[in-house]
């Protein structure tokens, strides 16, 4: 009896050891560890760069040298979908006329690349041609009319609080302190540092000229990147497979592919979404006869690139600009921006973006707050897709472990769970 018990025990232990031997989680843990290390390194590098002046100066010089390459790669990434669309449709059109596949693919790639670049430049030109004159007109009108609008706003405020002596005294005190602050700032800061401001303005003009030259070089870099993108991808894969075993290398390649899908869908979707919101804002403001419609619409459209908080960020300067011209219309604008955010968040955004990130609203807000707190505006903009990649990796690791334990992978199965049976790994629920 004892021997039989020992035999069954040995069989049980042997089966457990065999199951453990087949349980290979190393590739997923390797990717999760790699993502964690990269995330920690990014934060460390960020603080090292901005804490130590010598490192910051070296970093600024390096980014300045690499700026054309960075600009070119960003442009190539943005216009790659357009290039693929042109290449795919042209390939269908030339299939019968050019039977040689290699020659046809080469012609399609060249035409697709330059066609996408021409489309990009056309969009930029149209934006400058259509928006810039109106934008300059709105800004110059705002600056010219600012004193009169301030007087009008103060007269309106005085009429509102005319029967309230306390409100009038508060207004008078605020104006007095504001005047004293402005006068003190002119005497202590503006006039003594005027030469510094002139030098910074000159330096700013030089930097703008350098940026324009770098953009031109970046366009050339973008052409080379698009023409040889398969070669670059192949070189990346070759390096990965050279330094890592096949299984973790496959997982890394799959994760990079998924990351590209998340980033591409998110960025292109947000650009289209922001353009639609900017146009809608302009149309409605024109119908409502709001002042500075182009200026405010551009602000709302650009800030809408930031997920969730974008419309509210753009609403602050827009409300101030409109309220200085007409306080009542400023209040209407606040209501309109709230309704526009609801329309974008519940209808337009989900239709365009779909489920490109796979994140719930809570994790979107979490990613924006953490990204913005660590990396500023860039963190707010890219925090959502970066966190979506991390979320994807963690989900893959958790699903792999649960699958090996023969437990359910869906979250719904665990919501009402009271525990898990230690011997069978079956989820147990409380009896009602």
Locate all alpha helices (DSSP H) within 188-292, ordered by sequence.
194-227, 229-243, 246-287
Rounded distance between C-alpha atoms, residue 75 and residue 119, angstroms = 12
Three-point CA angle 318, 323, 324, nearest 5°: 105
- Joined tokens for residue 174: 């605020």
H/E segment holding residue 370: helix 361-404
In 10 A of CB 218, how many CB atoms? Answer: 22
For residue 10, the model assigns a pLDDT of 47
250 within 8 A of 27, measured Cβ to Cβ: yes
Rounded distance between C-alpha atoms, residue 120 and residue 330, angstroms = 35
Q: What is the pLDDT along the chain (432 residues), one digit of tens a residue?
A: 444 444 444 444 444 444 444 445 666 666 667 677 777 776 776 666 666 666 667 667 777 788 889 889 989 988 888 888 888 888 888 877 877 778 888 888 889 899 989 988 988 887 777 667 766 766 666 667 666 666 666 666 666 655 555 655 666 666 667 666 766 666 666 556 656 666 666 766 777 788 888 889 999 999 999 998 889 889 999 998 998 888 888 888 888 888 888 888 888 888 888 888 888 888 998 898 888 787 788 888 888 887 777 777 888 888 887 877 777 888 888 888 888 888 887 777 777 766 667 777 788 778 888 887 777 777 777 888 888 888 888 888 888 888 887 888 777 777 777 777 777 777 767 665
For residue 375, the model assigns a pLDDT of 75
Q: The whole model's pTM is what?
A: 0.64
């Amino acid at each position: 009896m004892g021997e039989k018990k020992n035999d069954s025990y040995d069989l049980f232990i042997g089966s457990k050891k065999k199951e453990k031997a087949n349980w290979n989680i190393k590739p997923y843990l390797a990717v999760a560890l790699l993502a964690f290390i990269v995330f920690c390194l990014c934060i460390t590098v960020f603080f090292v760069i901005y804490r130590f002046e010598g490192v910051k100066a070296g970093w600024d010089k390096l980014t300045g040298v690499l700026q054309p390459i960075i600009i070119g790669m960003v442009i190539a990434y943005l216009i790659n979908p357009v290039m693929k669309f042109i290449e795919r449709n042209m390939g269908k059109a030339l299939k019968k006329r050019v039977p040689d596949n290699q020659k046809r693919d080469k012609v399609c790639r060249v035409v697709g690349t330059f066609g996408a670049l021409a489309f990009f430049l056309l969009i930029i030109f149209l934006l400058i041609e259509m928006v810039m004159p109106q934008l300059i007109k709105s800004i110059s009108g705002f600056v010219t009319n600012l004193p009169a609008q301030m007087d009008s706003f103060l007269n309106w405020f005085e009429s509102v609080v005319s029967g309230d002596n306390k409100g009038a005294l508060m207004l008078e005190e605020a104006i007095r302190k504001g005047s004293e602050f402005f006068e003190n700032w002119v005497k202590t800061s503006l006039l003594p540092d005027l030469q510094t401001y002139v030098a910074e303005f000159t330096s700013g003009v030089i930097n703008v000229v350098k940026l324009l030259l770098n953009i031109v070089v970046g366009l050339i870099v973008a052409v080379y990147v698009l023409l040889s993108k398969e070669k670059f991808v192949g070189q990346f894969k070759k390096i990965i497979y050279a330094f890592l075993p096949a299984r973790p290398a496959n997982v890394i390649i799959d994760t990079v592919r998924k990351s590209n899908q998340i980033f591409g869908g998110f960025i292109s979707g947000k650009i289209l979404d922001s353009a639609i919101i900017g146009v809608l804002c302009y149309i409605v403001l024109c119908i409502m006869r709001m002042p500075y419609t182009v200026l405010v619409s551009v602000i709302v459209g650009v800030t809408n690139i930031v997920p969730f908080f974008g419309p509210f960020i753009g609403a602050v300067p827009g409300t101030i600009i409109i309220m200085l011209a007409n306080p009542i219309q400023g209040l209407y604008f606040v209501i309109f921006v709230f309704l526009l955010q609801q329309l974008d968040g519940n209808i337009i955004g989900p239709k365009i973006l779909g489920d490109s990130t796979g994140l719930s609203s809570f994790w979107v807000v979490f990613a924006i707050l953490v990204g913005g707190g660590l990396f500023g505006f860039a963190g707010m903009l890219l925090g959502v897709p970066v966190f979506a990649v991390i979320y994807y990796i963690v989900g893959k690791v958790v699903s792999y472990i649960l699958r090996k334990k023969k437990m359910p992978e869906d979250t719904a199965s665990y919501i009402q769970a009271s525990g898990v049976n230690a011997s069978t790994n079956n989820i147990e629920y409380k009896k009602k």
